[in-house]
Each structure stands twice: as structure tokens, then as C-alpha cells.
Chain A
Amino acid sequence: NAGVMQNPRHLVRRRGQEARLRCSPMKGHSHVYWYRQLPEEGLKFMVYLQKENIIDESGMPKERFSAEFPKEGPSILRIQQVVRGDSAAYFCASSPTFGQGSTEAFFGQGTRLTVV
């Protein structure tokens, strides 16, 4: 059972370009969460999704950022017109349907976005 898979691991974008970050949850997991981590800081919640639904996007910037988790395929975090302040590590986590045991969320290895 593969863990949470994120790709790419490293992404370099010029200012103004678009960044697409992908996350495939663990098998059997229907909940996906995206977090952002700046250097030497804790993780900050961005968005919580279930298949085809955004449950909570209270941590997402109002502009340029969007997320989806389609019926088929990975979850995508999309950042349009990137700026240098978007440079960070973006982590995805997944969990099984809540209530079916553990509260544990498993994290992927992250995508490190660098905007130049």
C-alpha cells in the first residue's frame, strides 16, 4: 500500500507562471488536505477536500489559489500567476473516512515550490 504520493517533489516557476501540484492519497482514503510550510515554520492548513467536494477552504488565499479532487485522478493544487511569496513546501495529507478508527492523517513528502 503506497503512501501519499506527491509530484513533483521540486518545482521551479518564474513569477507570473502557473504551478500545479498533484497529490494521490493512500488507497482507500477519501479525504485530502493541503498544507503550506514556510522555512522554519509549522504547517498551515489550506484546504480540505473529499471527492468532487471542497469541504473547507478557509486557509486558501482568496486569489490565485484553487484546489480540486476529481472523481478520478489526483487532487490538484493550482497556483496562478505565482509570486515569490508563494515559495514554500506544500504538503498533502490523506485520511480514511472519519469515524472509521484512527484520527491519523498521513502526509506525503511534499512539493517544494521555488519562484524565481
Chain B
Amino acid sequence: GESVGLHLPTLSVQEGDNSIINCAYSNSASDYFIWYKQESGKGPQFIIDIRSNMDKRQGQRVTVLLNKTVKHLSLQIAATQPGDSAVYFCAEGYTGFQKLVFGTGTRLLVSP
């Protein structure tokens, strides 16, 4: 299932599916972007980041895509697992000043 962006606050998928979470960022001067995972009652946990001079970066089961033309960021999670259930936030920042601006978040629900 694919999120249509932050207008859809909850994304429900089946275990094993691939998940795509989208984010529109606001500042064209932002030069790095981070995805965080936040489980209930916990602090944000770093997942993956990407610099503005890249358009794709891969981690373990996760891929971040950056489209600077339309100021859009996405997080792809392969073979989604129940442990991936959480709220996912994108955040943007700019060099020399790590004041992150967070998006409003997408809740991912993974059914076994």
C-alpha cells in the first residue's frame, strides 16, 4: 500500500508487504533530510538520512528517495514486519545549523 502523503495519517499494510511513506518538505534550502521512527512512549529513533546532493540512499530494508524538484521525500520499507509499526517522521535541516524541522508524521500499522 502506498501513502498519498501526509493527508493520510495512517498506513495499514500486511506483514511482508513493501511500505512507502511520503513527505513533502518546505524549505528549498534544506540540504539534508532524516527519517525517524517513533514508537509509543519513546523518543524518535534515527532510521536513515540523505544529503541534498543525492537522490537515493539505501539502508538495511529501507530506501530513501529525494526529489528536489517537487520537494518530496519518501521512505520505502521492504518486507514490512510487525515491529515496524510506529509513527514515522521526516525531518529537514541545513548545513551548519542542526535545527530540524519535522513533518507531521505517518502512522504505520503492520498486520501479521
- Interface set of A (CB-CB < 8 Å, partner B): 4, 31, 33, 35, 41-45, 48, 56, 58-59, 91, 95, 98, 102-110
Find chain A residues with CB under 8 A from B93 CB: 103
Tell me how far the C-beta of B60 lies from the nearest C-beta in chain A, rounded to whole angstroms: 16
Give the 10 A-B residue pairs with the shortest CB-CB distance, closest first: A42-B102, A107-B43, A43-B102, A107-B44, A42-B104, A109-B43, A45-B99, A103-B32, A104-B46, A110-B43
**A-B contacts besides A42-B105, A59-B99, 12 pairs, CB < 8 Å:** A33-B98, A33-B100, A35-B102, A48-B97, A91-B44, A98-B98, A104-B49, A105-B98, A106-B46, A107-B43, A109-B42, A110-B42
Within 8 Å CB of B42, what residues of A? 109-110
Task: Please classify the interface of chain B as helix (H, G, I), strand (E, B), loop, or mixed, using the class held by over half of its residues.
Answer: strand
Judge whether A95 and B98 touch: CB under 8 Å.
yes
The interface residues of chain B lying within 8 Å CB-to-CB of A42 are: 89, 102-105
B residues less than 8 Å from A44 (CB atoms) = 102
